Amino acid sequence: MQVKTNILSLPTQEFVHPGTRACTGCGLSIAYRVGLKALGKDTILIVPPSCLTVLQGLFPVASTKLPCLNVTFASTAAAATGVLATLKTQGNDHTIVAAWGGDGGTSDIGLQALSGAAERGDNFIYFCYDNEGYMNTGVQRSGTTPIGAITANTPFKGKQQQKKDVPAIMAAHKLSYVAACSAAYPLDLYDKIKNCMNLPGTKYFHIHIPCPPGWGYDPRYGIKIGRLAVETGYYDLYEIINGEFRLTAASEKLLEKRKLVPVREYFRSQSRFKILSDFQIDEIQKQIDAKWEGYYKKGE
Amino acid sequence: MHIIENGNTAAALGVKLCRAKVIAAYPITPQTPLTERLSEYVESGEMKAEYIPVESEHSALAVCIAASSAGARVFTATSANGLLYMHEQVQWASGARLPIVMCVVNRAVGAPWNVWNDQQDSISQRDTGWIQLYCADHQQIIDTVIKAYWLAEKVSIPIMVCYDGYILSHTYMPFDLPDQKKVDEFLPPFKPDYALNPDEPANLNTVTLPDVRLDVQGELAHGYMEIRYLLQEDLRTTLKDAAEAETRFARIFGRSEDPYLEPYRCDDADYVAVGMGSITYQMRVCIDVLRKEGIKIGIMGVRFYRPFPDEAIANALKRKKGIIVVEKALSYGYEGTLASDLKSALYEYLAGTGTLPSVQNFIAGIGGREIHTNDLTQILRAASQGRVSKEPTWIGLKL
């Protein structure tokens, strides 16, 4: 049995200074803060241009208390490989290398380098914080923007294509660990990071990140919306350890409850989905129901 | 010890002697034998290093950038489109002031596809803030790799060691293999001022504003412009450090060269041909023929291209009647870049002194087109008798 961390047992040591440059209500602030607590002090970070570059501040001020290498957009995972290679030559097998890229930097421009590093089996943790668009550059569509979402370059019709399933792509690399998490469930993220620490090779984390300016909602509702994505069965929390899939946290509870919140509630909570018709939402609801029927059957 | 090997192996042996710790490479002709040798040295245990077979050249330099930022001596090599694919990382490496050494085995760039030699690949990276060195034979390749590590680490600027694909990379020549002990004496282990380290956290290459800014202690920190100015300033003073590298090298290895230029029969010459790489040795044959005909001509090889040794070149070419620049690359839409750079240096130092020579530009060997020594001789003969053309003349063009 793994220990489940609660808010009281979460370490109090902080690695992100208060007062970052992130937007009010930014989901990444939560995931990053808790993620770094799990990674701990003996960590080197790799960050490509993204919202995190902004969060970390402008030279010569930094909001993160861990060493961080800022790298080019397409090179995140390769940079992790480079740091690891040096640590190896120094006989250092304890320092953790952790890359934090956005969804554009992961699912689009960084996918080749990530696939290369994963195939080589380089021992680092990759975090894709998925706010479902190029938010840092003003909310353009990315490979993980969901169907129907209005963005700055899908301005009237919304994105016409499905969200790219990056965790599935990474799982196809036969990684020792793949996890899907959400900023609305930070303790689940914390436990999963702790869970994967001693596994070999590349570990991949996908984190759903509510984004007030990109998704169109009042900043105070970020956690609520993140939770709705999970409670509606639209975004699932899970981990795949050496090929073994299991739902976690609130998604695991849904297995027992067998009752999903209608996805309409999730879509109607954000302005980016305003052009989705009731008919389209019903279609998406059918897909979610079918996916969950599969989960229920597997569980029996 | 003298050995007979190809140019790629000379480079690989140089990297091994320098004890590079992290090597990352992606295969591209004609660089492949160089990095294959290195993978053999590492896999056999002959060389204690990490060899990373990356999935692209962009990642090859990304690995080197990160590994160097973490404190390792690193190496990569590429050619042609591989170098072009790295371009973003090339700029990043110099901006981050990392002493990376990269061999560029010169090859033509596409389109259309062409795997043969010219120098358009490295010339197209001229303005990236790297030091660029050109080699003319195998001894220069291995010696330049060793000197490059010393110089790069002295000035915290990355270096491209360029040599012609096939003509040097795949041909066999005898050269002296430097002694490991002497290399260790010449090149101490790499100790960076800062390396990524959890005990001493720092945020590297973060967003930097157009203007200077106070840090948390209230001290003014550089803006982007200051950081970039210092790169330029340090590149200019690198010329002096290169001279020091040469002196050190001569003391330890007992061979020395002019750090920037390689003159041949220039002292009493009226005309001087100028070039970079293997073509400068080929042209020595032409010079000998023309000298017998009574034409006072010499050749000046440029080994140090960036930073440009403008003063040394202008002084060396003072009072010559004519300069004939023969190049394997050009700035499309104008002329050969070496010709342009040379004219600029001559103007700066000689304008108004009455010693300004005329400059003619020839383009040769593009995409591996064979450069016949007879054609070169004819061109040099014609050029030393008067101006052939204002526009660059393409040698051996069949149109």
Q: Are residues B36 and B142 in the same domain?
A: yes
Residues of A in contact with B201 (CB under 8 A): 62, 64-68
Q: Using the beta-carbon criterion (under 8 Å), do A64 and B62 form an inter-chain contact?
A: no
Q: Which long-range contacts (CB under 8 A, 24 or more apart) does B355-358 make?
A: B355/B318, B355/B319, B357/B272, B357/B317, B357/B319, B357/B320, B357/B321, B357/B322, B357/B323, B358/B321, B358/B322, B358/B323, B358/B387
Query: Is residue A87's pLDDT more than 90?
Result: yes
What phi and psi values does residue B79 have, to the nearest 5 degrees? -150, 155
Mean pLDDT of the region B220-236: 98
Q: Dihedral (C-alpha) B235, B237, B242, B245: value to the nearest 10 degrees?
A: -120
Residue B355 is assigned to a structural domain of this protein: yes
Chain B residue with the nearest C-alpha to that of A83: B67
Mean pLDDT of the region A214-243: 98
Q: Hey, is the C-beta of A71 within 8 angstroms of any chain B C-beta?
A: yes
DSSP result, B232-280:
HHHHHHHHHHHHHHHHHHHHHHS----SSEEEES-TT-SEEEEE-STHH
Q: Hey, is the C-beta of A56 within 8 angstroms of any chain B C-beta?
A: yes
DSSP result, A55-69:
HT-STT--SBSS-EE
Residue A13 is assigned to a structural domain of this protein: no
Query: Is residue B393's pLDDT more than 70?
Result: yes
For the domain that residue B284 is a member of, what is the CATH number? 3.40.50.920
Under a CB-based contact definition with an 8 Å cutoff, are residues A151 and A275 in contact? no
Under a CB-based contact definition with an 8 Å cutoff, are residues B77 and B31 in contact? yes
Locate B144 and state its tokens. Answer: 């330049």
Kindly indicate the confidence band of residue A19, based on its pLDDT and cuts at 50, 70 and 90. confident
Residue B276 is assigned to a structural domain of this protein: yes
Q: Hey, is the C-beta of B189 within 8 angstroms of any chain A C-beta?
A: no
| Rounded Cα–Cα distance for residues B84 and B57 (Å) | 9
- Which member of A62, A78, A88 has the closest CB to residue B59? A78
Q: Dihedral (C-alpha) B190, B17, B90, A70: value to the nearest 10 degrees?
A: -40
Query: Is residue A55's pLDDT more than 70?
Result: yes
Residue A160 is assigned to a structural domain of this protein: yes
Q: Which of A15, A68, A69 to mutate to test the interface with B (most CBs of B within 10 A)?
A: A69
DSSP result, B57-76:
HHHHHHHHHHHHHTT--EEE
Write out pLDDT tens, residues B39-79: 999 999 999 999 999 999 999 999 999 999 999 999 999 99
| Rounded Cα–Cα distance for residues A42 and B133 (Å) | 40
Task: Work out the minimum CA distance from A155 to partner chain B, whole angstroms.
Answer: 29
Nearest-5° Cα angle at A145, A139 to A149? 75
Residues of A in contact with B72 (CB under 8 A): 85-86, 89-90
Kindly indicate the confidence band of residue A300, based on its pLDDT and cuts at 50, 70 and 90. confident
Q: Are residues B158 and B285 in the same domain?
A: no
Write out pLDDT tens, residues A233-255: 999 999 999 999 999 999 999 99
Full domain range(s) for residue A172: 27-299
- Which member of B58, B196, B203 has the closest CB to residue A75? B58
The answer, as to whether pTM is greater than 0.95, is: yes
For the domain that residue A130 is a member of, what is the CATH number? 3.40.50.970
For the domain that residue B173 is a member of, what is the CATH number? 3.40.50.970
Residue A136 is assigned to a structural domain of this protein: yes
* Residue where a domain terminates, one of B153, B186, B219: B186
Residues of A in contact with B202 (CB under 8 A): 62, 67-68
Write out pLDDT tens, residues B269-309: 999 999 999 999 999 999 999 999 999 999 999 999 999 99
Which pLDDT does position A2 carry in this prediction? Answer: 67
Chain A residue with the nearest C-alpha to that of B207: A58
Query: Across the strands, what pairs with B115?
Result: none
Residue B230 is assigned to a structural domain of this protein: no
Q: Is A15 helix (H, G, I), strand (E, B) or coil?
A: coil
Chain A residue with the nearest C-alpha to that of B54: A116
Q: Are residues B162 and B276 in the same domain?
A: no
Contacts of B182 (CB under 8 A, 6+ apart): B252, B253
Residue B170 is assigned to a structural domain of this protein: yes
Count the domains in chain B: 2
Q: DSSP E strands: which ranges in chain A?
A: 43-47, 68-70, 96-102, 125-130, 177-182, 203-208, 238-241, 244-247
Mean pLDDT of the region A121-139: 97
Chain A residue with the nearest C-alpha to that of B95: A71
Mean pLDDT of the region B96-108: 98
Task: Work out the minimum CA distance from B124 to partner chain A, whole angstroms.
Answer: 20
Mean pLDDT of the region B91-114: 98
Which pLDDT does position A154 carry in this prediction? Answer: 97
Kindly indicate the confidence band of residue B386, based on its pLDDT and cuts at 50, 70 and 90. confident
Which pLDDT does position B70 carry in this prediction? Answer: 98
Which pLDDT does position B119 carry in this prediction? Answer: 98
| Rounded Cα–Cα distance for residues B373 and B382 (Å) | 14
Residues of B in contact with A57 (CB under 8 A): 203, 206-207
Under a CB-based contact definition with an 8 Å cutoff, are residues B52 and A120 in contact? yes
Under a CB-based contact definition with an 8 Å cutoff, are residues B336 and B329 in contact? yes
Q: Using the beta-carbon criterion (under 8 Å), do B52 and A61 form an inter-chain contact?
A: no
Full domain range(s) for residue B313: 261-394
Q: Are residues B20 and B168 in the same domain?
A: yes
Q: What do you get for the CA distance between the two ends of chain B, in Å?
A: 49
Count the domains in chain A: 1
Which pLDDT does position B389 carry in this prediction? Answer: 87
Residue A211 class from Cβ within 10 Å (0-12 exposed, 13-18 middle, 19+ buried)? Answer: buried
Tokens 């607590």 correspond to what residue?
Answer: A37
Short-list A289, A288, A96, CA closest to A205: A96
Q: Diameter of chain A by CA atoms?
A: 60
Q: What is the mean pLDDT of chain A?
A: 96
Overall size of chain B counted in residues: 399
Query: Is residue A3's pLDDT more than 90?
Result: no
Q: Are strands A203-208 and A177-182 parallel, antiparallel or unpaired?
A: parallel
Kindly indicate the confidence band of residue A1, based on its pLDDT and cuts at 50, 70 and 90. very low
Mean pLDDT of the region B119-143: 98
Please give the distance of CA A176 from its chain centroid, rounded to a whole number. Answer: 18
Locate B37 and state its tokens. Answer: 């040798």
Q: Which of A20, A59, A109 to mutate to test the interface with B (most CBs of B within 10 A)?
A: A59
Chain B residue with the nearest C-alpha to that of A73: B88
Which pLDDT does position B15 carry in this prediction? Answer: 98
Mean pLDDT of the region B212-228: 96
Q: What is the mean pLDDT of chain B?
A: 97
Which pLDDT does position A63 carry in this prediction? Answer: 93
| Rounded Cα–Cα distance for residues B299 and B74 (Å) | 35
Residues of B in contact with A43 (CB under 8 A): 198
Contacts of B362 (CB under 8 A, 6+ apart): B324, B325, B326, B327, B336, B379, B383, B392, B393, B394, B395
Q: Hey, is the C-beta of B86 within 8 angstroms of any chain A C-beta?
A: no
Residue A3 is assigned to a structural domain of this protein: no
Residue A14 is assigned to a structural domain of this protein: no
Mean pLDDT of the region B6-35: 98
Under a CB-based contact definition with an 8 Å cutoff, are residues B388 and B361 in contact? no
